[in-house]
Amino acid sequence: MLNYILRKLALIIPTLIGISICAFAFVRVLPGDPILAMAGQHGVTPERYEILKEQFGYNLPIWQQYFNYVGGLLQGDFGVSLATKRPVLNEFFTLFPATVELALMAMLFAVAVGVPFGVLAAVKRGSWIDQLSMSVALAGYSMPIFWWGLLLMMFFSAYLGWTPVSGRIALSFFLKPITGFMLIDTLLHGNWAAFVSALRHLILPAIVLGTIPLAVIARQTRSAMLEVLGEDYVRTAKAKGLSGRRVVNVHALRNAMIPVITTIGLQVGLLLGGAILTETIFSWPGIGKWMIDSISKRDYVAVQSGLFLIACIVMVVNLIVDVLYAVINPRIRVK
Amino acid sequence: MKLMKTLMAATAMAALAVGTAQASQLIYCSEASPSHFDPGPQTGGNDFDASAHTIYDRLVEFAPGSTELVPGLAESWEISEDGLEYTFKLRPGVKFHTQPYFTPTRDLNADDVLFSFERQWKQDNPWYEYLPGMTWDYFQGMDMPGAINSIEKVDDLTVKLTLNEANAPMLANLAMQFASIVSKEYADQLAASGDLASFSTQPVGTGPFQLVDYQLDSVIRYQAFPDYFAGKQPIDDLIFAITTDASVRAQRLIAGECDIMPYPAPADIPTLQGNDKLTVLEAEGLNIGYMAYNTTEAPFDNVNVRKALSMAVDKQAIVDAVYEGAGQLAKNLIPPTMWSYNDAVVDHVYDPEAAKKLLEEAGVSGLTTDLWAMPVSRPYNPNAQRVAELIQADWAAVGVTANIVSYEWTEYRERGKQEDRKGPFQIGWSGDNGDPDNFFGTLFSCAAIGVSNYASWCNEEFEGLIQNAKATTDPAERTALYEQAQVLFKQEEPVLTLAHSKVFMPMNKKVLNYTMSPLGTHSFVGVSIAE
């Protein structure tokens, strides 16, 4: 097992190097200039421009800029944001819990709805239930997030008034962050009303962000279930006279879940990507919205370090999934 | 079921909490996160709203809803006969905010004023570069280093500002956000602890509100400063709920999650106006959208060609199509709300036949040119791409072929400034201080070529008029000079003046006494909430 983890870890190093190059190159291939973007309507004088360029090291050859950046990363220095002048690492981890909270809720929604729908569709294969749920899944998968978010917001928040329009919690609650996770913080403060408010604020963003993973999970569950339902052991279970429900829930679903869990793990990157749009629509103060703002301000430092951190997190999550998978299924370790 | 009941009870409690707390609080759905809270180096309107207009004051202020100058932290001032010396008498007994991180031991005095300007002016001041890579954008942009000779403390409550030459817009400059007065005592305390950066995140001012808390990208909370020199504000709490998307801001306003919002999307305005819980205030914006010809490039160096091209454009159709009712045709560079606006100026009439003839007379045929379209939406030009397409079609009718070009925004402006730029260039301007020099001088003085004079236009007579107007302090004389300048400007047509846009401010009807600023700033001084 230890060997397996070490092998996986060794693979991470070249990946990290690749990511650092991509993150570094990404902002630089965007048109625009970080120094000019910092200045406002009046611009900067050519002399001042040169001074600032030198100060930030943007006058150096590109390879040297890259090595300075990587040198900083190796020492844990992620730089200071050009726009806000605050350390990028502080900003990132102030906002990160909001994104994680949203992503977890979205995943919870996707699994809680997607798995039962997938199972139902497989069991009732070919029926109208199957057709309907797979059509809905296809629609969900093709849904443009921005449009879908605005549509839900206009109907449920503006028209019906059932859910809040945006934000993380009603503004009448003023709680100092402890963990950064609003649901946990409100409970730590012992404020039940605030907890309910935070939960209500999570509903729409979680549905919007969870829609695509839901569709993927439902389809994956359906196909995995169909495969498993044709296996000998399921036939044996049926032959033993077990109830249909027991056969599906205990014998089939358990085995069908293995590929589904992998799918869920792979959705993490997708969730972080989707979070960019969802957070923008719902004014959710997470890293997605922060990245968009940083890109539009050509904040090189925030973008390159932010992308690197996000990529690292996705990698760590995938590593954990791999390890868990190996724990569940020992055959994988040998391969 | 039990859980459901508990949830409902808790929701009701939450609603009750909202109801009681809102009695004296105003929620403003602001459009972006502030970079920090020091107005000196800031550049964005949202930055200023979150700092200069809440936390800080200036020596002189713009009166609410106008560009008229009224006393601020200076209760009076005198300007010497030659216009070179400004002597300010500071208001006695002005308190700075008391914060968990700072307790002031003295009232505002001349040292604070000197410090507020010297930190932006003198490169050897330890605060000149207290944040990495910071620039004092407006102090530089308004050419304060070139204008100021010295700032001296006469006594504790008297400050004397000496200029290098007479400069009539100076007083208006001092009412701008960058000229906010900060606490020297607080700066000294931070310098002693070696923590200079906190000056921008933990602000201390004399303004109507003091900062309580800022949650990054989410919410800014202020409370009314009880010892404000002009008296405590009617609202107790001011909250900025940061909401970047304009349509979402509108939804929040409709749902009652905020009381007032800036910059509605044009498409949302009819809905907001039709909502009986809301009021939508509107005002003429102090701005101009225009298209600058490069007057050094043939054939645009010929005034008749410029006139012909302007006459070939159906401006009214563009304003109707692009500004969606939020624009007003511009014939002058400055908007009609600004003093010295010359209404007698006659614009070039849309006349494609006459345009063709003029082009023929100038010997121009089969002209092909680039036509620049801004990549971003700005209040003065919401859709430059569409404007370019309409101009392209109008010009095609007179035999001129235009190729639309665009670049990323900073790149666009950089390329536009180049004197050898090819083709007419769309751009615009939002006034900083309500002074006509901020339009004429900033945009079309000879010195602005390569900086913000996108027409590369240097006209001796025009330059003489605007420089004289700048050096004169008599308003009547200045008005006459600017009126002449506008006549000359239209005759020379260095740019096609397109439109001035209107600005809308939707709010809940319970918001009382909000005044729209022609400068596009958002201040909540004097605003109250109906019970």
Answer whether A196 sits within 8 Å of B10, measured CB to CB: yes
A295 contacts chain B (CB < 8 A): no
Tens digit of pLDDT for each residue in B454-501? Answer: 999 999 999 999 999 999 888 899 999 999 999 999 999 999 999 999
d(CA B239, CA B259): 10
Predicted confidence band at B230 (pLDDT cuts at 50, 70, 90)? very high
Percent of chain B with pLDDT over 90: 74
Distance, in Å, from the CA atom of B380 to the CA atom of B497, rounded to the nearest integer, reads: 11
pLDDT the model gives residue B265: 85
Burial of B194 (0-12, 13-18, 19+ CB in 10 A): exposed
User: Can you give the pLDDT at residue A332?
Assistant: 65
At residue A42 the predicted structure's pLDDT band, cuts being 50, 70 and 90, is: low
What single DSSP character describes residue A157? I
* Residues A106 and A288: beta-carbon distance below 8 Å: no
Asked if B157 and B92 touch (Cβ cutoff 8 Å), the reply is yes
H/E/C letters for each residue in B76-143? EEEECCCCCEEEEEECCCCCCCCECCECCCCCCCHHHHHHHHHHHHCCCCCCCCCCCCCCCHHHHHCC
Among all residues of chain A, which has the CA nearest to that of B131?
A85
Rounded CA gap, B21 and B1, in Å? 30
- For position A247, what pLDDT does the model report? 82
The pLDDT mean for chain B works out to 91
pLDDT classification of A259: cutoffs 50, 70, 90? confident
Summarize pLDDT for B186-227 with one digit per residue, the tens.
999 999 999 999 999 999 999 999 999 999 889 999 999 999
For residue B421, give every residue at least 6 positions away whose Cβ sits within 8 Å of its Cβ, in sequence order, or none.
B294, B297, B415, B454, B456
Q: For A148-197, what is each residue's pLDDT tens digit? A: 998 999 899 888 889 999 899 999 898 888 999 999 999 999 999 999 99
Q: Do the beta carbons of residue A205 and residue A278 sit within 8 Å?
A: yes
B104 has a pLDDT exceeding 70: yes
pLDDT at A255: 80
C-alpha B433/C-alpha B3 separation (Å) is 58
Residue B9 has pLDDT above 60, yes or no: no
**Which residues of chain B are within 8 Å of residue A164 when distances are taken between CB atoms?**
255, 257
B13 has pLDDT over 70:
no
What pLDDT was estimated at residue A40?
Answer: 63
**Residue in A40, A164, A196 closest to B44 by CB:** A40
Task: Please state the rounded mean pLDDT for residues A291-318.
Answer: 87
Cβ-Cβ contacts under 8 Å for B279 (sequence gap 6 or more): B506, B507, B508, B509, B511
The answer to whether A31 contacts chain B (CB < 8 Å) is yes
Average per-residue pLDDT for chain A: 87
Complex ipTM: 0.85
pLDDT 10s digits, B372-404 = 999 888 889 988 999 999 999 999 999 999 999
| Strand extents, DSSP E, B345-473 | 368-372, 401-405, 425-430
What span, in angstroms and rounded, lies between the C-alpha atoms of A55 and A67? 16
Rounded Cα–Cα distance for residues B504 and B516 (Å):
9
Residues of B in contact with A165 (CB under 8 A): 248, 251-252, 255, 257
Q: pLDDT-derived band of residue A318, with 50, 70 and 90 as boundaries?
A: confident
B251 chain-A contacts, CB cut-off 8 A = 153-154, 157-158, 165-166
Q: A287-296 and A300-328 helices cross at what angle (nearest 10)?
A: 150
Taking only residues 181 to 240 of chain A, the set having a beta carbon closer than 8 angstroms to any beta carbon of chain B reads 192-197, 200
Q: How confident is the model at residue B3 (pLDDT cuts 50, 70, 90)?
A: very low
Q: What is the pLDDT of residue A295?
A: 86
What's the average model confidence in pLDDT over B143-169? 94
Q: What is the pLDDT of residue B500?
A: 95
Query: So what's the pLDDT on residue B412?
Result: 87
pLDDT given at position B4: 41
Which pLDDT does position B19 carry in this prediction?
40
Residues contacting residue B467 through CB under 8 Å, at least 6 positions apart? B441, B445
Residue ranges of A 79-108 with Cβ closer than 8 A to chain B:
80, 82-86, 91, 94-95
Q: Report the run of H or E that residue B398 belongs to, with start and end.
A: none
Confidence of residue A145 (pLDDT cuts 50, 70, 90): confident
| CB contacts, 8 Å: A194 with chain B | 14
| Mean pLDDT lowest among B12-16, B180-184, B291-295, B444-448 | B12-16
* DSSP summary character for residue B262: S
Q: What pLDDT, on the 0 to 100 scale, is given for residue B466?
A: 95
Q: What is the pTM of this model?
A: 0.86
Q: Give the mean pLDDT of B322-333.
A: 90
What is the DSSP-derived secondary structure letter of residue B22? G
B371 φ/ψ angles, rounded to the nearest 5 degrees: -135, 120
Average pLDDT over residues A289-317: 87
Q: Of the candidates B52, B159, B173, which has an alpha carbon nearest to the alpha carbon of residue B110?
A: B159
Res B516: pLDDT: 94
As a whole number, mean pLDDT of residues B66-71 equals 90
Helix axes A300-328, A62-74, angle to 10 degrees: 50
The pLDDT confidence band at residue A333, using thresholds 50, 70 and 90, is: low
Query: Nearest CA to A252 among A269, A231, A270?
Result: A231
Q: Which amino acid is at A91?
A: E
Contacts with A204 from chain B: Cβ below 8 Å: none
Q: What is the pLDDT of residue A275?
A: 85
Count the helices and strands in chain A (H runs, E runs): 15, 0
Highest mean pLDDT among A157-166, A325-334, B6-15: A157-166
pLDDT (average), residues A118-129: 89
The tokens for B191 are 């310098």
Beta bridge partners of B291: B426, B496
Looking at per-residue pLDDT, the higher value among B171 and A159 belongs to: B171
Considering only CB atoms, which chain B residues are within 8 Å of A37?
Answer: 410
Give B497 to chain A, closest Cα distance, Å.
Answer: 19
Mutate: best of A84, A172, A294, partner B, most B CBs <10 A: A172
CB atoms within 10 A of CB A263: 16
Test A157 with B248 for CB contact under 8 angstroms: no
Nearest CA-CA distance, residue A285 and chain B, Å: 5
Q: What tens digit of pLDDT does each residue of A59-104 get?
A: 889 899 999 999 988 898 899 888 888 899 999 999 999 999 999 9
A250: pLDDT strictly greater than 80: no
Q: Which amino acid is at A181?
A: F
Strand B209-215 and strand B368-372: the pairing is unpaired
Smallest CA–CA distance, residue B21 to chain A, in Å, is: 6
CA distance B33 to A223: 46
Give, in degrees to the nearest 5, the angle at Cα A288 between A310 and B31: 150
Residue B14 pLDDT more than 50? Answer: no
Please tell me which residue of chain B has the smallest CA distance to A37.
B410
Contact B394, B313 (CB under 8 A): yes
